Structure 1
Amino acid sequence: MTKDQIFEFFRRLAEDNPSPQTELEYGNAYQLLVAVALSAQATDIGVNKATRALFAKVETPQQMLDLGEDGLKAHIKTIGLFNSKAKNVIALSQILVDEHGGEVPDTREALVKLPGVGRKTANVVLNCWFGQETFAVDTHIFRLGNRTGMAKGKTPDHVEAKLEKRVPQPFRRDSHHWMILHGRYVCKARTPECWRCKVADLCSFKKKVLEKK
Structure 2
Amino acid sequence: MKDNRSPDAIREMVERIRRSVPAHRFVFTDPFWMLITTVLSQRTKDETTDAAARSLFERYRDVDSLANADPEDVGRIIGKVGFWRVKSKKIVEIARIIKDRYGGKVPESIDDLTSLPGVGLKTAKVVLAEGFHVPSIAVDTHVFRISHRIGWSSARTPEETSVDLENLIPKDLQIGFNPMMVEFGKAICRPMKPLCDRCPISEYCKFYSERSGK
By the TM > 0.5 criterion, same fold?
Answer: yes
**Conserved in 2, the CA contact under 8 Å of 1:60 and 1:102?**
no
Contact 1:31 1:59 in 2 (8 A): no
Cα offset, 1:6, TM superposition = 2.6
Identify the residue that residue 145 of structure 2 maps to in structure 1.
143
1:172 paired residue number? 174
Question: Which blocks of at least 5 consecutive residues in structure 1 are unaligned?
Answer: 209-213
The letter for the 2-side match of 1:11 is: E
Report the alpha carbon displacement of residue 15 of structure 1 after superposing the two structures with TM: 4.5
How far does the alpha carbon of each residue in 1:60-106 deviate from its partner, in whole angstroms, 9 at most, with x for none? 22211333101100011101111111111111111111111111111
Structure with more contact order per residue of length (Cα contacts < 8 Å, sep ≥ 6): 2
CA contact (8 A) 1:61 1:102 kept: yes
Q: Which moved more, 1:32-41 or 1:175-184?
A: 175-184
Q: Distance in 2 between matches of 1:24 and 1:173?
A: 13
Q: CA RMSD in A?
A: 1.9
What residue number does 1:44 align with? 46
Q: Which structure has greater helix proportion?
A: 2
Find 1:192's aligned residue among 165, 176, 194. 194
The count of aligned residue pairs is 206
Offset of residue 34 of structure 1: 0.4
* Aligned residue type for 2:11: F
Cα–Cα, structure 1 residues 51 and 175, in superposed 2: closer, same or farther, change >3 Å? closer
**Residues in 2 aligned to 1:80 and 1:35: alpha-carbon distance in whole angstroms:** 13
**For the residues of structure 2 that align with 1:148 and 1:64, how far apart are their CA atoms?**
42
d(CA) in 2 for partners of 1:52, 1:176: 22
Matched residue, 1:72: 74
Q: Say whether residues 1:123 and 2:101 are aligned partners.
A: no
TM-superposition CA deviations, 1:95-138 (whole Å, max 9, x none): 11111111111111111111001111010001111101110000
Distance 1:65 1:169, change over 3 A: closer
Gaps of 5+ in 2: none
The runs of at least 4 aligned residues of structure 1 exceeding 4 Å deviation read: none
Normalised by the length of structure 2, the TM-score is 0.89
Give % identity: 28
Aligned residue number for residue 11 of structure 2: 7
- 1:18-70 CA distance string (max 9 Å, x none): x944x441252211110001111112211012122211122222211333101
TM-score where L is the length of structure 1: 0.89
